[in-house]
Amino acid sequence: MSTRPLARGVESRMRFSRIFSLGDRKKPTSWTPAIVLNESDPLLPISIAPFISSRHSSTLPATISISTRGNFCFPFDGLDQWSSIEGLILPPSLADSNSGKSSKGDEILLVSWQSLHHEKSLVNDDFNPSIVILVDSLQLVQNQGMLVDAIDAIRIKFPTSLIWTPGIGGPDNCALLSWLGVDLFDLSRSRSASALNIIITPFGPREIDNSTNEKADMESQCEEWKKSISATRAAIRDGSLRELAEKQSISSPRSVERLRIHDKKMSSYDGGRAGLSRILGHKAKLQCNSFTSRNDPLIKDWHNRISFHHTPPNHQTKVLVLLPCSATKPYRLSQSHQRFSKSINSRSIHEVMVTAPLGLVPRELEDIWPAGNYDIPVTGEWDLDELKTIKDVFFNLVSRINYSRVINHSGVDFGICDFEIVDTRKNYSAGSQEALSMLNDAINQAIMDFKLPKLKENFHRLEKLKSLSRFQHGSDLWLNDSIVEGRPPIFTIKKNGVQLAQWNPRSARFAFSKSCLKILNEFDILPRILLNDDHSWKGDLFSTNVKSVSGDIRRGDEVLVFQNNVLIGSARAEAPGWEWPNGPGRLGRAQHRL
């Protein structure tokens, strides 16, 4: 009898972590991240422990079985069991060897470092197991970078599968492993800790405290697991998993190592492949409270785009003024920046904020993710790493744009430069009357020296939106011959009396109208989704109706929808590019239909 696949939907996403709802999507009874029990473990609630596993070694090769504890397979009328023959697993050191004996099972796939390099069946696009087990996880954690590489390869190849890394999970690294893409854990480490009278907490293993009658039995170990699973799920939902993973990582040098290696690996990919989001709205928060957070691929991506790609509004390429950041976001709403604006009496000056960890934030980008959403501890002093980042991004930007003059009101000393730089601080505070007076004098002098024109506000607004469009979408051609209407901060963009889009800083995105889709298609502005030829598109985008994709899709992106090579509408991506086109759950929410 053929086995039934696990029914699963995606309740929430963050980069490579997901909360899967298991079973009937209308009334799920369990979710991930979750625990796989063995037959001797305490029976935890199904909501956090949906599976029981067993290994049968009476015959060789051994058989691995996983049983559901709930009705998770359509039509949800009973429990299910899946089995897989273990095959011959060689150690990671023998990766160049091919054992020739692979795992065999329909809904369970057992993979190892060696099989990832040799197993030809893994390239079969029609094979989508319910659970993928990385059977040599315990060996991979002893080899630098191997665990990160293996999880990344599995996750990209099998985006709909749950990933289990037996033997390495605990309450102290649940969030970190979820950040890497792991969905399932087990109690192996907790059982070992209990035998040694040690308890594994979300902050790491430690000896019990006898003064409070603390225990290290399995009941106590499971309570710690419940806390960690709950905290991890909550962090995925509210977008704070990165911060939780950073907190957990410091309990172990190996965990810090894995987070850093993962960051470096993701920073080498395109944004969609790295799981990054482009648009999250004003409620999202990026907490940068540790040194490790500076290595976040999202921040590295910002450095790269400002350094090598972003171009300011076309009328602001002569004079650059550097300003300090503020705790208030967007900066323009702070009292300090309102004072700065009174001294900068020209729309032809390019205003750029100096900040950590982003380095530089141009005024035209202050509303968007993550510039409008980050928070850092403020001490009033830059450390050496922050200064290096600021200077690197600054010199890259200045040398590429080739400003004629830089007015430095940031307080950062950039040393001797091969371009003209004017210091308007002279050791005064940025908001002091003396510094503001020097800033105003420098601005007036630049206006005279470079004959900077007086520009109308409507022209200025349009050029800022063009610059923003170039940053978010790689082009501003769709804005040709358009006009901007409305009162700040919400603007309506029109062309020949027809609305093309609206800009609202609270959503920090261009809300394109149906009339704009053909223009966006003409200039190849947005990523493209091709639907199956025979599909009648009535709902949202799922792997069942998406045939292929093109372009770098980040979560939150607007995408154009095609069928039979004809533009038929648009949608907003709810999944990052690495999940398209075969990811689970809803990949995009329909916006317009033509």
Residues 24-33: what's their mean pLDDT? 93
- With 0-12 / 13-18 / 19 or more C-beta atoms within 10 angstroms meaning exposed / middle / buried, residue 1 is exposed
Which tens digits make up the pLDDT trace of 366-418? 999 999 988 888 777 788 998 999 999 999 999 999 999 999 999 999 988 88
Q: Compute the distance between CA of residue 357 and CA of residue 202 in angstroms, rounded to an integer.
A: 27
Res 34: pLDDT: 97
Res 472: pLDDT: 94
Res 353: pLDDT: 96
Of the two residues 233 and 61, the one the predictor is more confident about is 233
Res 285: pLDDT: 86
Is residue 95 a part of any domain in this protein?
no
Q: Compute the distance between CA of residue 173 and CA of residue 75 in angstroms, rounded to an integer.
A: 35
Task: Grade residue 86 by pLDDT with cuts at 50, 70 and 90.
Answer: confident
Give the CATH number of the domain where residue 311 resides: 3.40.50.10630
> Residues 263, 156: one domain?
yes
Is residue 96 a part of any domain in this protein?
no
Provide the mean pLDDT of the chain.
Answer: 91
> Residues 108, 39: one domain?
yes
Is residue 376 a part of any domain in this protein?
yes
Domain extent for 360 = 286-449
Is residue 37 a part of any domain in this protein?
yes
Task: Grade residue 288 by pLDDT with cuts at 50, 70 and 90.
Answer: confident
How many domains does the chain divide into?
3
Res 427: pLDDT: 86
Which tens digits make up the pLDDT trace of 316-338? 999 999 999 998 899 999 999 99
Which tens digits make up the pLDDT trace of 556-589? 999 999 999 999 999 999 999 999 999 999 999 9
Using the 3D structure, point to which of 267, 295, 322 is the last residue of a domain.
Answer: 267
Task: Answer whether 161's CB lies under 8 Å from 230's CB.
Answer: no
Residues 473-490: what's their mean pLDDT? 93
> Residues 252, 299: one domain?
no
pLDDT surpassing 70 at residue 4: yes
Is residue 435 a part of any domain in this protein?
yes
Q: Compute the distance between CA of residue 573 and CA of residue 577 in angstroms, rounded to an integer.
A: 9
Res 264: pLDDT: 95
> Residues 494, 358: one domain?
no
Res 149: pLDDT: 94
Distances (CA, A) of 351 to 318, 395, 408, 421, 483: 11, 16, 10, 14, 23
> Residues 76, 218: one domain?
yes
pLDDT surpassing 70 at residue 118: no
Please provide residue 19's backbone torsions phi and psi, each rounded to the nearest 5 degrees.
-100, 110
The CB-side HSE value for 215 (13 A sphere, CA atoms) comes to: 7
Sole residue written with tokens 């094979």: 127
Task: Answer whether 468's CB lies under 8 Å from 501's CB.
Answer: no
- Of 88-97, 284-293, 558-567, least confident by mean pLDDT is 88-97
Res 93: pLDDT: 64
Res 572: pLDDT: 95
- With 0-12 / 13-18 / 19 or more C-beta atoms within 10 angstroms meaning exposed / middle / buried, residue 55 is exposed
Q: Report which residue type is found at 226.
A: K
- With 0-12 / 13-18 / 19 or more C-beta atoms within 10 angstroms meaning exposed / middle / buried, residue 492 is middle
Is residue 311 a part of any domain in this protein?
yes
> Residues 256, 162: one domain?
yes
Task: Answer whether 529's CB lies under 8 Å from 495's CB.
Answer: no
The token pair that represents 38 in the structure block: 């063995």
Q: Which is nearest to 347 in space by CA: 369, 319, 375, 367?
A: 319
> Residues 138, 253: one domain?
yes
Which tens digits make up the pLDDT trace of 30-43? 999 999 999 999 99
Q: Compute the distance between CA of residue 422 and CA of residue 106 in angstroms, rounded to an integer.
A: 69
Res 120: pLDDT: 63
Res 125: pLDDT: 64
Task: Grade residue 191 by pLDDT with cuts at 50, 70 and 90.
Answer: very high
Distances (CA, A) of 534 to 531, 541, 544, 563: 8, 15, 12, 9
> Residues 490, 403: one domain?
no
Is residue 92 a part of any domain in this protein?
no
pLDDT surpassing 60 at residue 100: no
Res 84: pLDDT: 87
pLDDT surpassing 80 at residue 124: no
CB atoms within 10 A of CB 83: 17
pLDDT surpassing 90 at residue 113: no
> Residues 542, 401: one domain?
no
Is residue 464 a part of any domain in this protein?
no
> Residues 54, 112: one domain?
yes
Distances (CA, A) of 101 to 88, 96, 104, 134, 521: 5, 15, 9, 16, 49
Neighbouring-strand partners of residue 10 = 20
> Residues 238, 110: one domain?
yes
The token pair that represents 70 in the structure block: 């709930």
Task: Grade residue 117 by pLDDT with cuts at 50, 70 and 90.
Answer: confident
Q: Compute the distance between CA of residue 499 and CA of residue 496 in angstroms, rounded to an integer.
A: 8
pLDDT surpassing 80 at residue 81: yes
> Residues 151, 244: one domain?
yes
Give the CATH number of the domain where residue 534 resides: 2.30.130.10
Q: Compute the distance between CA of residue 164 and CA of residue 107 in angstroms, rounded to an integer.
A: 13
Residues 112-136: what's their mean pLDDT? 80
Which tens digits make up the pLDDT trace of 167-183? 999 999 999 999 999 99
pLDDT surpassing 90 at residue 105: no
Which tens digits make up the pLDDT trace of 420-441? 999 999 989 999 999 999 999 9
E strand residue ranges, 39-161: 51-56, 63-68, 81-85, 108-111, 131-134
Which tens digits make up the pLDDT trace of 195-230? 999 999 999 999 999 999 999 999 999 999 999 999
pLDDT surpassing 90 at residue 85: no
Q: Compute the distance between CA of residue 422 and CA of residue 409 in angstroms, rounded to an integer.
A: 8
Report the residue count for the chain.
594
Res 3: pLDDT: 82
